[in-house]
Structure 1
Amino acid sequence: MTGLLIFAAAAVTGGLLGFLFGIPRVLQADGQGANESAVPRLLVNTNLEQVSDWLTKILVGIGLVEFTRIIDSSGALFTRLGAAFAPRADAAVLAGTLVVAGIVLGFLGGYVVTRTWLTHIFRKADLTAIEKVVKEEVSKRISQDGDAMRMVMQQLDSDEPVIEVNQLAEALGSASSTARAQVFQLAGTQRRTSWRTADGKPRLLRTVPVFQALTQVAPHEHRYWGELGFALAEQTPPDDKAAVDVLTVAIERRDNAGDAAGWYHYEFVRAQARLRALNGAPADAATRDLVLADARIAMSRPNIKKIIESAPPGNGRDVVGIIRSYVDERPQVRVSTKPEVD
Protein backbone atom coordinates (compact mmCIF):
# COMPACT_ATOMS: atom_id res chain seq x y z
CA MET A 1 0.00 0.00 0.00
CA THR A 2 2.85 2.36 0.82
CA GLY A 3 4.50 1.66 -2.54
CA LEU A 4 1.26 2.38 -4.33
CA LEU A 5 0.94 5.72 -2.56
CA ILE A 6 4.52 6.68 -3.45
CA PHE A 7 3.95 5.71 -7.10
CA ALA A 8 0.64 7.62 -7.21
CA ALA A 9 2.21 10.75 -5.73
CA ALA A 10 5.06 10.58 -8.23
CA ALA A 11 2.61 9.99 -11.11
CA VAL A 12 0.52 13.00 -10.10
CA THR A 13 3.68 15.14 -9.99
CA GLY A 14 4.75 13.90 -13.42
CA GLY A 15 1.24 14.36 -14.79
CA LEU A 16 1.25 17.98 -13.64
CA LEU A 17 4.57 18.54 -15.39
CA GLY A 18 3.22 16.88 -18.54
CA PHE A 19 0.18 19.13 -18.40
CA LEU A 20 2.35 22.26 -18.12
CA PHE A 21 4.50 21.17 -21.07
CA GLY A 22 1.54 20.05 -23.17
CA ILE A 23 -0.83 23.00 -22.88
CA PRO A 24 -1.70 24.08 -26.45
CA ARG A 25 -0.78 27.59 -27.49
CA VAL A 26 -3.30 29.81 -29.25
CA LEU A 27 -1.87 32.01 -32.00
CA GLN A 28 -3.62 35.37 -32.16
CA ALA A 29 -2.86 38.17 -34.60
CA ASP A 30 -2.25 41.61 -33.13
CA GLY A 31 -4.64 43.28 -35.56
CA GLN A 32 -6.72 42.81 -38.67
CA GLY A 33 -5.41 43.45 -42.11
CA ALA A 34 -7.06 45.84 -44.51
CA ASN A 35 -8.62 43.03 -46.53
CA GLU A 36 -9.86 40.93 -43.62
CA SER A 37 -13.51 40.51 -42.78
CA ALA A 38 -15.13 42.96 -40.40
CA VAL A 39 -16.60 40.07 -38.39
CA PRO A 40 -15.08 40.29 -34.89
CA ARG A 41 -12.80 37.48 -33.81
CA LEU A 42 -13.07 35.76 -30.43
CA LEU A 43 -9.91 36.24 -28.36
CA VAL A 44 -9.44 33.46 -25.82
CA ASN A 45 -7.93 33.92 -22.36
CA THR A 46 -4.27 32.88 -22.55
CA ASN A 47 -3.34 33.35 -18.89
CA LEU A 48 -2.91 29.59 -18.38
CA GLU A 49 -0.62 29.42 -21.41
CA GLN A 50 1.52 32.22 -20.05
CA VAL A 51 1.75 30.58 -16.60
CA SER A 52 2.66 27.30 -18.27
CA ASP A 53 5.34 29.00 -20.35
CA TRP A 54 6.82 30.76 -17.33
CA LEU A 55 6.83 27.66 -15.12
CA THR A 56 8.28 25.49 -17.89
CA LYS A 57 11.16 27.90 -18.43
CA ILE A 58 11.72 28.24 -14.67
CA LEU A 59 11.76 24.48 -14.12
CA VAL A 60 14.10 23.82 -17.04
CA GLY A 61 16.39 26.65 -15.96
CA ILE A 62 16.53 25.47 -12.34
CA GLY A 63 17.03 21.90 -13.49
CA LEU A 64 20.08 22.82 -15.57
CA VAL A 65 21.63 25.13 -12.99
CA GLU A 66 20.95 22.99 -9.92
CA PHE A 67 21.35 19.58 -11.57
CA THR A 68 23.99 18.31 -9.08
CA ARG A 69 22.01 19.42 -6.05
CA ILE A 70 18.87 17.84 -7.46
CA ILE A 71 20.67 14.50 -7.81
CA ASP A 72 21.93 14.69 -4.22
CA SER A 73 18.50 15.71 -2.92
CA SER A 74 16.85 12.89 -4.89
CA GLY A 75 19.21 10.37 -3.25
CA ALA A 76 18.30 11.68 0.18
CA LEU A 77 14.59 11.50 -0.73
CA PHE A 78 14.87 7.90 -1.92
CA THR A 79 16.65 6.95 1.33
CA ARG A 80 13.90 8.50 3.46
CA LEU A 81 11.12 6.89 1.41
CA GLY A 82 12.98 3.56 1.57
CA ALA A 83 12.47 3.49 5.29
CA ALA A 84 8.90 2.46 4.57
CA PHE A 85 10.20 -0.76 3.01
CA ALA A 86 12.67 -1.68 5.81
CA PRO A 87 14.28 -4.05 6.59
CA ARG A 88 14.80 -4.72 2.83
CA ALA A 89 18.37 -4.09 1.74
CA ASP A 90 17.19 -2.53 -1.53
CA ALA A 91 14.56 -0.30 0.08
CA ALA A 92 16.09 2.95 -1.25
CA VAL A 93 16.38 1.49 -4.74
CA LEU A 94 12.77 0.35 -4.67
CA ALA A 95 11.57 3.78 -3.50
CA GLY A 96 13.64 5.50 -6.21
CA THR A 97 12.27 3.19 -8.87
CA LEU A 98 8.70 3.93 -7.85
CA VAL A 99 9.33 7.68 -7.83
CA VAL A 100 11.15 7.79 -11.19
CA ALA A 101 8.69 5.41 -12.86
CA GLY A 102 5.74 7.36 -11.50
CA ILE A 103 7.11 10.71 -12.62
CA VAL A 104 8.03 9.46 -16.11
CA LEU A 105 4.76 7.61 -16.70
CA GLY A 106 2.74 10.46 -15.19
CA PHE A 107 4.56 13.00 -17.36
CA LEU A 108 3.94 11.00 -20.54
CA GLY A 109 0.30 10.41 -19.61
CA GLY A 110 -0.30 14.04 -18.70
CA TYR A 111 1.42 15.31 -21.86
CA VAL A 112 -0.43 12.94 -24.20
CA VAL A 113 -3.82 13.59 -22.60
CA THR A 114 -3.26 17.35 -22.69
CA ARG A 115 -2.08 17.35 -26.31
CA THR A 116 -4.95 15.17 -27.56
CA TRP A 117 -8.10 15.04 -25.49
CA LEU A 118 -7.75 18.38 -23.68
CA THR A 119 -6.64 20.18 -26.85
CA HIS A 120 -9.69 18.79 -28.65
CA ILE A 121 -11.95 20.07 -25.88
CA PHE A 122 -10.34 23.53 -26.00
CA ARG A 123 -10.65 23.71 -29.78
CA LYS A 124 -14.25 22.55 -29.76
CA ALA A 125 -15.18 25.10 -27.11
CA ASP A 126 -13.45 27.91 -29.02
CA LEU A 127 -15.07 26.96 -32.33
CA THR A 128 -18.50 26.79 -30.69
CA ALA A 129 -18.05 30.24 -29.19
CA ILE A 130 -16.72 31.68 -32.45
CA GLU A 131 -19.56 30.11 -34.42
CA LYS A 132 -22.06 31.73 -32.08
CA VAL A 133 -20.41 35.14 -32.43
CA VAL A 134 -20.23 34.83 -36.23
CA LYS A 135 -23.87 33.78 -36.50
CA GLU A 136 -24.94 36.71 -34.37
CA GLU A 137 -22.80 39.10 -36.42
CA VAL A 138 -24.06 37.73 -39.74
CA SER A 139 -27.66 37.93 -38.55
CA LYS A 140 -27.09 41.49 -37.39
CA ARG A 141 -25.40 42.45 -40.67
CA ILE A 142 -28.22 40.93 -42.74
CA SER A 143 -30.74 42.89 -40.68
CA GLN A 144 -28.74 46.11 -41.11
CA ASP A 145 -28.36 45.56 -44.85
CA GLY A 146 -32.09 44.88 -45.14
CA ASP A 147 -32.97 48.06 -43.24
CA ALA A 148 -30.63 50.13 -45.40
CA MET A 149 -32.01 48.68 -48.64
CA ARG A 150 -35.60 49.27 -47.54
CA MET A 151 -34.86 52.90 -46.70
CA VAL A 152 -33.10 53.48 -50.00
CA MET A 153 -35.87 51.84 -52.01
CA GLN A 154 -38.38 54.09 -50.22
CA GLN A 155 -36.28 57.14 -51.00
CA LEU A 156 -35.96 56.21 -54.68
CA ASP A 157 -39.72 55.68 -54.99
CA SER A 158 -41.37 58.96 -55.96
CA ASP A 159 -44.63 57.92 -54.30
CA GLU A 160 -43.06 57.35 -50.87
CA PRO A 161 -42.16 59.95 -48.19
CA VAL A 162 -38.70 61.49 -48.45
CA ILE A 163 -36.08 60.23 -45.98
CA GLU A 164 -33.57 62.64 -44.47
CA VAL A 165 -29.95 62.39 -45.56
CA ASN A 166 -28.72 61.79 -42.01
CA GLN A 167 -31.07 58.82 -41.62
CA LEU A 168 -29.85 57.35 -44.89
CA ALA A 169 -26.23 57.93 -43.90
CA GLU A 170 -26.73 56.22 -40.55
CA ALA A 171 -28.36 53.19 -42.19
CA LEU A 172 -25.74 52.94 -44.93
CA GLY A 173 -22.93 53.40 -42.41
CA SER A 174 -24.13 50.30 -40.56
CA ALA A 175 -24.59 48.31 -43.77
CA SER A 176 -21.95 46.19 -45.47
CA SER A 177 -19.83 47.39 -48.38
CA THR A 178 -21.75 44.99 -50.63
CA ALA A 179 -25.05 46.62 -49.69
CA ARG A 180 -23.60 50.08 -50.32
CA ALA A 181 -22.38 48.96 -53.74
CA GLN A 182 -25.89 47.75 -54.58
CA VAL A 183 -27.38 51.03 -53.38
CA PHE A 184 -24.93 52.96 -55.55
CA GLN A 185 -25.87 50.88 -58.60
CA LEU A 186 -29.59 51.34 -57.98
CA ALA A 187 -29.35 55.10 -57.53
CA GLY A 188 -26.94 55.48 -60.46
CA THR A 189 -29.21 53.51 -62.79
CA GLN A 190 -32.21 55.60 -61.76
CA ARG A 191 -30.28 58.82 -62.39
CA ARG A 192 -29.06 57.74 -65.83
CA THR A 193 -32.49 56.59 -66.97
CA SER A 194 -34.44 59.63 -65.80
CA TRP A 195 -32.39 62.79 -66.39
CA ARG A 196 -33.15 63.26 -70.10
CA THR A 197 -36.93 63.72 -69.80
CA ALA A 198 -39.05 66.14 -67.82
CA ASP A 199 -41.17 63.27 -66.52
CA GLY A 200 -38.06 61.61 -65.13
CA LYS A 201 -36.75 64.64 -63.24
CA PRO A 202 -38.67 63.85 -60.02
CA ARG A 203 -37.11 60.38 -59.99
CA LEU A 204 -33.68 61.91 -60.57
CA LEU A 205 -34.22 64.34 -57.69
CA ARG A 206 -34.87 61.39 -55.36
CA THR A 207 -31.35 60.08 -56.00
CA VAL A 208 -29.63 63.20 -54.62
CA PRO A 209 -30.08 62.36 -50.90
CA VAL A 210 -28.84 58.82 -51.56
CA PHE A 211 -25.61 60.07 -53.12
CA GLN A 212 -25.22 62.65 -50.37
CA ALA A 213 -25.53 59.90 -47.76
CA LEU A 214 -22.96 57.76 -49.59
CA THR A 215 -20.46 60.63 -49.63
CA GLN A 216 -20.88 60.97 -45.86
CA VAL A 217 -20.29 57.26 -45.30
CA ALA A 218 -17.33 56.92 -47.69
CA PRO A 219 -15.97 60.41 -48.43
CA HIS A 220 -12.87 58.95 -50.12
CA GLU A 221 -14.90 57.30 -52.92
CA HIS A 222 -14.81 59.64 -55.94
CA ARG A 223 -17.64 57.85 -57.75
CA TYR A 224 -20.11 58.84 -55.02
CA TRP A 225 -19.10 62.49 -55.39
CA GLY A 226 -19.21 62.21 -59.18
CA GLU A 227 -22.74 60.80 -59.28
CA LEU A 228 -23.88 63.44 -56.80
CA GLY A 229 -22.37 66.16 -58.99
CA PHE A 230 -24.09 64.76 -62.08
CA ALA A 231 -27.45 64.63 -60.29
CA LEU A 232 -27.11 68.21 -59.04
CA ALA A 233 -26.25 69.41 -62.54
CA GLU A 234 -29.08 67.45 -64.18
CA GLN A 235 -31.94 68.20 -61.79
CA THR A 236 -34.55 70.85 -62.54
CA PRO A 237 -33.58 73.54 -61.84
CA PRO A 238 -29.90 72.57 -61.78
CA ASP A 239 -27.82 73.51 -58.75
CA ASP A 240 -24.77 74.37 -60.81
CA LYS A 241 -22.71 76.06 -58.10
CA ALA A 242 -23.08 73.04 -55.82
CA ALA A 243 -22.37 70.75 -58.79
CA VAL A 244 -19.09 72.57 -59.47
CA ASP A 245 -18.01 72.22 -55.84
CA VAL A 246 -19.00 68.55 -55.64
CA LEU A 247 -17.35 67.64 -58.95
CA THR A 248 -14.19 69.43 -57.81
CA VAL A 249 -14.12 67.12 -54.79
CA ALA A 250 -14.74 64.13 -57.07
CA ILE A 251 -11.80 65.11 -59.27
CA GLU A 252 -9.52 65.52 -56.27
CA ARG A 253 -10.54 62.13 -54.87
CA ARG A 254 -10.11 60.53 -58.30
CA ASP A 255 -6.63 61.95 -58.78
CA ASN A 256 -5.58 61.00 -55.25
CA ALA A 257 -6.71 57.44 -55.95
CA GLY A 258 -4.84 57.35 -59.28
CA ASP A 259 -8.09 56.37 -61.01
CA ALA A 260 -8.28 59.02 -63.70
CA ALA A 261 -8.83 56.82 -66.77
CA GLY A 262 -12.46 56.69 -67.79
CA TRP A 263 -13.68 59.39 -65.39
CA TYR A 264 -13.14 62.58 -67.43
CA HIS A 265 -16.88 63.20 -67.59
CA TYR A 266 -16.31 64.99 -64.28
CA GLU A 267 -14.48 67.81 -66.09
CA PHE A 268 -16.99 67.85 -68.95
CA VAL A 269 -20.00 68.25 -66.67
CA ARG A 270 -18.13 70.73 -64.46
CA ALA A 271 -17.35 72.90 -67.51
CA GLN A 272 -21.04 72.98 -68.42
CA ALA A 273 -22.04 73.75 -64.83
CA ARG A 274 -19.57 76.64 -64.68
CA LEU A 275 -21.17 78.20 -67.76
CA ARG A 276 -24.77 77.63 -66.65
CA ALA A 277 -23.97 79.20 -63.26
CA LEU A 278 -23.38 82.49 -65.12
CA ASN A 279 -27.13 82.67 -65.91
CA GLY A 280 -26.48 83.93 -69.43
CA ALA A 281 -23.91 86.57 -68.42
CA PRO A 282 -20.69 86.71 -70.44
CA ALA A 283 -17.86 84.66 -68.96
CA ASP A 284 -14.90 86.54 -67.62
CA ALA A 285 -11.36 85.52 -68.48
CA ALA A 286 -10.90 83.41 -65.36
CA THR A 287 -14.07 81.42 -66.03
CA ARG A 288 -13.12 80.92 -69.68
CA ASP A 289 -9.73 79.59 -68.62
CA LEU A 290 -11.32 77.17 -66.15
CA VAL A 291 -13.81 75.95 -68.75
CA LEU A 292 -11.06 75.50 -71.33
CA ALA A 293 -8.90 73.63 -68.83
CA ASP A 294 -11.77 71.23 -68.16
CA ALA A 295 -12.46 70.89 -71.89
CA ARG A 296 -8.79 70.15 -72.57
CA ILE A 297 -8.87 67.23 -70.11
CA ALA A 298 -12.33 66.00 -71.10
CA MET A 299 -11.51 65.98 -74.82
CA SER A 300 -8.77 63.44 -74.23
CA ARG A 301 -11.64 60.94 -74.26
CA PRO A 302 -12.79 60.31 -77.85
CA ASN A 303 -16.50 60.17 -76.99
CA ILE A 304 -16.44 63.53 -75.21
CA LYS A 305 -14.32 65.08 -77.96
CA LYS A 306 -16.90 63.91 -80.50
CA ILE A 307 -19.73 65.50 -78.49
CA ILE A 308 -17.96 68.86 -78.28
CA GLU A 309 -16.79 68.96 -81.90
CA SER A 310 -20.21 67.94 -83.23
CA ALA A 311 -22.00 70.72 -81.33
CA PRO A 312 -22.79 73.88 -83.36
CA PRO A 313 -20.56 76.68 -82.10
CA GLY A 314 -22.43 79.61 -80.64
CA ASN A 315 -23.49 81.49 -77.58
CA GLY A 316 -26.73 81.65 -75.62
CA ARG A 317 -27.81 78.74 -73.40
CA ASP A 318 -26.20 75.92 -75.42
CA VAL A 319 -23.28 75.40 -73.06
CA VAL A 320 -21.71 72.66 -75.18
CA GLY A 321 -21.83 75.05 -78.13
CA ILE A 322 -20.14 77.71 -76.01
CA ILE A 323 -17.41 75.22 -75.07
CA ARG A 324 -17.05 74.45 -78.79
CA SER A 325 -16.66 78.18 -79.49
CA TYR A 326 -13.98 78.49 -76.82
CA VAL A 327 -12.11 75.54 -78.28
CA ASP A 328 -12.37 76.94 -81.80
CA GLU A 329 -10.99 80.27 -80.62
CA ARG A 330 -8.02 78.56 -79.01
CA PRO A 331 -7.35 75.41 -81.03
CA GLN A 332 -4.15 74.74 -79.08
CA VAL A 333 -6.26 73.33 -76.30
CA ARG A 334 -7.07 70.32 -78.50
CA VAL A 335 -4.65 67.86 -77.09
CA SER A 336 -4.57 64.46 -78.70
CA THR A 337 -4.64 61.43 -76.42
CA LYS A 338 -3.23 62.37 -73.03
CA PRO A 339 -4.45 65.28 -70.91
CA GLU A 340 -1.98 67.88 -69.78
CA VAL A 341 -2.86 68.75 -66.22
CA ASP A 342 -1.27 71.99 -65.03
Structure 2
Amino acid sequence: MARRVPGDGAPESRPPQPFGNGVIFAGLVWSLVAVAAASMYLLGGQGARLVGLAVLVLFASAAIGAIAGFLFGVPKSVPYVPREGVAPPPYIPNSNLEQVSDWLTKIIIGVGLVEIRQVAAILRKIATRLGDAFDNSSGTSDTTNTSAAFALTLILGGLLISFVLTYMWVRTRLFQVLAEFGRPPT
Protein backbone atom coordinates (compact mmCIF):
# COMPACT_ATOMS: atom_id res chain seq x y z
CA MET A 1 0.00 0.00 0.00
CA ALA A 2 1.42 3.39 -1.02
CA ARG A 3 2.12 5.82 1.75
CA ARG A 4 0.16 9.05 1.59
CA VAL A 5 2.24 12.20 1.28
CA PRO A 6 0.65 15.43 2.55
CA GLY A 7 -0.32 17.70 -0.31
CA ASP A 8 -0.34 14.99 -2.99
CA GLY A 9 -4.05 15.56 -3.66
CA ALA A 10 -5.20 12.23 -2.25
CA PRO A 11 -8.07 12.54 0.20
CA GLU A 12 -7.05 12.11 3.77
CA SER A 13 -8.88 9.34 5.55
CA ARG A 14 -9.53 9.90 9.21
CA PRO A 15 -12.16 8.50 11.48
CA PRO A 16 -15.32 10.57 11.80
CA GLN A 17 -15.24 12.93 14.76
CA PRO A 18 -18.36 13.61 16.76
CA PHE A 19 -19.36 17.17 15.94
CA GLY A 20 -21.48 17.93 18.98
CA ASN A 21 -18.97 16.85 21.63
CA GLY A 22 -16.52 19.64 20.89
CA VAL A 23 -19.25 22.27 20.78
CA ILE A 24 -20.71 21.09 24.08
CA PHE A 25 -17.26 20.97 25.71
CA ALA A 26 -16.42 24.49 24.50
CA GLY A 27 -19.77 25.76 25.79
CA LEU A 28 -19.16 24.18 29.20
CA VAL A 29 -15.67 25.65 29.49
CA TRP A 30 -16.96 29.05 28.34
CA SER A 31 -19.75 28.93 30.94
CA LEU A 32 -17.44 27.87 33.77
CA VAL A 33 -14.97 30.65 33.05
CA ALA A 34 -17.81 33.20 32.87
CA VAL A 35 -19.22 32.01 36.22
CA ALA A 36 -15.74 32.14 37.78
CA ALA A 37 -15.21 35.68 36.44
CA ALA A 38 -18.59 36.84 37.71
CA SER A 39 -17.82 35.31 41.11
CA MET A 40 -14.45 37.05 41.19
CA TYR A 41 -16.09 40.36 40.34
CA LEU A 42 -18.90 40.00 42.88
CA LEU A 43 -17.05 38.34 45.77
CA GLY A 44 -13.35 39.15 45.35
CA GLY A 45 -11.05 41.88 46.52
CA GLN A 46 -9.86 44.76 44.37
CA GLY A 47 -7.49 42.72 42.19
CA ALA A 48 -9.99 39.90 41.73
CA ARG A 49 -12.73 42.39 40.85
CA LEU A 50 -10.50 43.93 38.19
CA VAL A 51 -9.67 40.55 36.62
CA GLY A 52 -13.30 39.42 36.84
CA LEU A 53 -14.53 42.57 35.14
CA ALA A 54 -11.89 42.29 32.41
CA VAL A 55 -12.85 38.67 31.68
CA LEU A 56 -16.56 39.51 31.62
CA VAL A 57 -16.00 42.41 29.19
CA LEU A 58 -13.84 40.19 27.00
CA PHE A 59 -16.41 37.38 27.03
CA ALA A 60 -19.31 39.73 26.24
CA SER A 61 -17.53 41.23 23.25
CA ALA A 62 -16.34 37.77 22.13
CA ALA A 63 -19.94 36.53 22.20
CA ILE A 64 -21.02 39.37 19.91
CA GLY A 65 -18.07 38.69 17.59
CA ALA A 66 -18.90 34.97 17.51
CA ILE A 67 -22.53 35.67 16.56
CA ALA A 68 -21.36 37.98 13.77
CA GLY A 69 -18.76 35.44 12.62
CA PHE A 70 -21.44 32.76 12.48
CA LEU A 71 -23.83 34.98 10.50
CA PHE A 72 -21.14 35.99 7.99
CA GLY A 73 -19.79 32.45 7.64
CA VAL A 74 -22.92 30.35 7.04
CA PRO A 75 -22.19 28.31 3.89
CA LYS A 76 -24.64 28.22 1.02
CA SER A 77 -26.14 24.93 -0.05
CA VAL A 78 -26.30 23.96 -3.69
CA PRO A 79 -29.90 24.00 -4.88
CA TYR A 80 -31.35 20.62 -5.81
CA VAL A 81 -31.89 20.16 -9.54
CA PRO A 82 -33.84 17.01 -10.46
CA ARG A 83 -32.19 14.94 -13.21
CA GLU A 84 -33.51 12.22 -15.40
CA GLY A 85 -32.77 8.72 -14.11
CA VAL A 86 -31.30 9.85 -10.78
CA ALA A 87 -33.15 9.14 -7.56
CA PRO A 88 -33.95 12.27 -5.54
CA PRO A 89 -32.10 12.71 -2.23
CA PRO A 90 -33.91 11.64 0.95
CA TYR A 91 -34.31 15.29 1.87
CA ILE A 92 -33.38 18.71 0.58
CA PRO A 93 -31.48 20.99 2.99
CA ASN A 94 -33.49 23.81 4.53
CA SER A 95 -32.16 27.20 3.48
CA ASN A 96 -33.88 29.33 6.16
CA LEU A 97 -30.63 29.85 8.08
CA GLU A 98 -28.89 30.92 4.87
CA GLN A 99 -31.67 33.42 4.11
CA VAL A 100 -31.64 34.87 7.63
CA SER A 101 -27.85 35.04 7.55
CA ASP A 102 -27.87 36.91 4.23
CA TRP A 103 -30.59 39.27 5.42
CA LEU A 104 -28.89 40.11 8.73
CA THR A 105 -25.47 40.44 7.10
CA LYS A 106 -26.82 42.99 4.62
CA ILE A 107 -28.57 44.91 7.41
CA ILE A 108 -25.46 44.93 9.63
CA ILE A 109 -23.21 46.13 6.81
CA GLY A 110 -25.74 48.73 5.59
CA VAL A 111 -26.45 50.20 9.00
CA GLY A 112 -22.76 50.05 9.91
CA LEU A 113 -21.75 52.01 6.83
CA VAL A 114 -24.48 54.62 7.24
CA GLU A 115 -24.00 55.05 11.00
CA ILE A 116 -20.20 54.63 11.22
CA ARG A 117 -19.73 57.88 13.17
CA GLN A 118 -22.37 56.90 15.71
CA VAL A 119 -20.77 53.47 16.12
CA ALA A 120 -17.42 55.10 16.92
CA ALA A 121 -19.09 57.47 19.42
CA ILE A 122 -20.94 54.60 21.10
CA LEU A 123 -17.72 52.57 21.36
CA ARG A 124 -15.95 55.58 22.89
CA LYS A 125 -18.76 56.05 25.42
CA ILE A 126 -18.77 52.35 26.38
CA ALA A 127 -14.97 52.36 26.72
CA THR A 128 -15.08 55.47 28.93
CA ARG A 129 -17.72 53.99 31.22
CA LEU A 130 -15.90 50.67 31.44
CA GLY A 131 -12.67 52.58 32.11
CA ASP A 132 -14.42 54.25 35.05
CA ALA A 133 -15.54 50.82 36.27
CA PHE A 134 -11.96 49.53 36.02
CA ASP A 135 -10.76 52.55 38.01
CA ASN A 136 -13.39 51.92 40.70
CA SER A 137 -12.47 48.21 40.83
CA SER A 138 -8.77 48.93 41.26
CA GLY A 139 -9.27 51.75 43.75
CA THR A 140 -7.26 54.25 41.68
CA SER A 141 -8.03 57.40 39.76
CA ASP A 142 -6.91 57.37 36.13
CA THR A 143 -6.17 60.85 34.81
CA THR A 144 -4.60 59.65 31.54
CA ASN A 145 -7.62 57.54 30.54
CA THR A 146 -5.56 54.36 30.11
CA SER A 147 -8.42 52.39 31.66
CA ALA A 148 -10.70 53.43 28.80
CA ALA A 149 -8.02 52.39 26.30
CA PHE A 150 -7.71 49.05 28.11
CA ALA A 151 -11.49 48.58 27.94
CA LEU A 152 -11.57 49.46 24.23
CA THR A 153 -8.73 47.00 23.59
CA LEU A 154 -10.67 44.24 25.37
CA ILE A 155 -13.82 45.02 23.41
CA LEU A 156 -12.21 45.21 19.97
CA GLY A 157 -9.84 42.32 20.63
CA GLY A 158 -12.66 40.05 21.79
CA LEU A 159 -14.86 41.05 18.86
CA LEU A 160 -12.24 40.60 16.17
CA ILE A 161 -10.59 37.42 17.44
CA SER A 162 -13.88 35.63 18.07
CA PHE A 163 -15.28 36.85 14.75
CA VAL A 164 -12.32 35.45 12.80
CA LEU A 165 -12.20 32.16 14.71
CA THR A 166 -15.94 31.57 14.48
CA TYR A 167 -16.02 32.54 10.81
CA MET A 168 -13.19 30.09 10.05
CA TRP A 169 -14.86 27.34 12.09
CA VAL A 170 -18.20 27.82 10.33
CA ARG A 171 -16.60 27.91 6.87
CA THR A 172 -14.56 24.77 7.49
CA ARG A 173 -15.92 22.45 10.15
CA LEU A 174 -19.61 23.32 9.96
CA PHE A 175 -19.37 23.15 6.18
CA GLN A 176 -17.91 19.63 6.44
CA VAL A 177 -20.69 18.52 8.78
CA LEU A 178 -23.42 19.96 6.58
CA ALA A 179 -21.87 18.41 3.46
CA GLU A 180 -21.61 15.02 5.19
CA PHE A 181 -25.24 15.05 6.28
CA GLY A 182 -26.38 16.29 2.87
CA ARG A 183 -24.99 13.24 1.05
CA PRO A 184 -27.41 10.49 0.21
CA PRO A 185 -26.89 7.27 2.15
CA THR A 186 -24.88 4.58 0.36
TM-score range, shorter chain: 0.5 to 0.7
Counterpart among 97, 106, 130 of residue 81 in structure 1: 130
**Counterparts of 1:223-242 in structure 2 under 5 Å?**
none
Q: 2:78 & 2:116 partners in 1: Cα distance?
A: 33
Structure 2 residue 88 is matched with structure 1 residue 40 = yes
Cα drift, residue 15 of structure 1: 0.9
Q: TM-score, normalised to structure 1's length?
A: 0.36
Cα drift, residue 124 of structure 1: 1.3
Counterpart among 162, 169, 178 of residue 106 in structure 1: 162
Q: Which amino acid aligns with 1:45?
A: N
1:236 corresponding residue in structure 2: none
Q: 2:152 & 2:55 partners in 1: Cα distance?
A: 13
1:172 corresponding residue in structure 2: none
Q: Which runs of 5+ in 2 are unaligned?
A: 1-51, 136-140
- Deviation track 1:57-107 (CA, whole Å, cap 9, x = no partner) reads 000000011111111111111111111211233111110000000000010
Cα drift, residue 32 of structure 1: 2.7
Cα drift, residue 38 of structure 1: 3.8
Q: 2:163 & 2:127 partners in 1: Cα distance?
A: 19
- Deviation track 1:169-220 (CA, whole Å, cap 9, x = no partner) reads xxxxxxxxxxxxxxxxxxxxxxxxxxxxxxxxxxxxxxxxxxxxxxxxxxxx
**Counterparts of 1:281-320 in structure 2 under 5 Å?**
none
Q: Which amino acid aligns with 1:72?
A: A
Q: Which amino acid aligns with 1:53?
A: D
Cα drift, residue 12 of structure 1: 1.1
Higher alpha-carbon Rg: 1
Contact 2:58 2:158 in 1 (8 A): yes
Structure 2 residue 107 is matched with structure 1 residue 58 = yes
Structure 2 residue 76 is matched with structure 1 residue 20 = no
1:116 corresponding residue in structure 2: 172
Please tell me the root mean square deviation across aligned C-alpha atoms, in Å. 1.4
Q: 1:51 & 1:105 partners in 2: Cα distance?
A: 23
2:4 corresponding residue in structure 1: none
- Deviation track 1:252-285 (CA, whole Å, cap 9, x = no partner) reads xxxxxxxxxxxxxxxxxxxxxxxxxxxxxxxxxx
Give % identity: 36
**Counterparts of 1:1-342 in structure 2 under 5 Å?**
1-29=52-80, 31-33=81-83, 36-41=84-89, 42-86=91-135, 87-88=141-142, 89=144, 90-127=146-183, 130-131=184-185
Q: Which runs of 5+ in 1 are unaligned?
A: 136-342
Q: 1:45 & 1:62 partners in 2: Cα distance?
A: 28
1:300 corresponding residue in structure 2: none
Q: 1:50 & 1:37 partners in 2: Cα distance?
A: 31
| Structure with more relative contact order (C-alpha pairs < 8 Å, separation 6 or more) | 2
Cα drift, residue 37 of structure 1: 2.5
Structure 1 residues 38, 125: CA separation in 2 closer, same or farther (over 3 Å shift)? closer
Q: 2:120 & 2:78 partners in 1: Cα distance?
A: 37
Q: TM-score, normalised to structure 2's length?
A: 0.64
Q: 2:96 & 2:170 partners in 1: Cα distance?
A: 16
- Deviation track 1:221-269 (CA, whole Å, cap 9, x = no partner) reads xxxxxxxxxxxxxxxxxxxxxxxxxxxxxxxxxxxxxxxxxxxxxxxxx
4+ long deviations beyond 2 Å: none
Q: 1:67 & 1:37 partners in 2: Cα distance?
A: 54
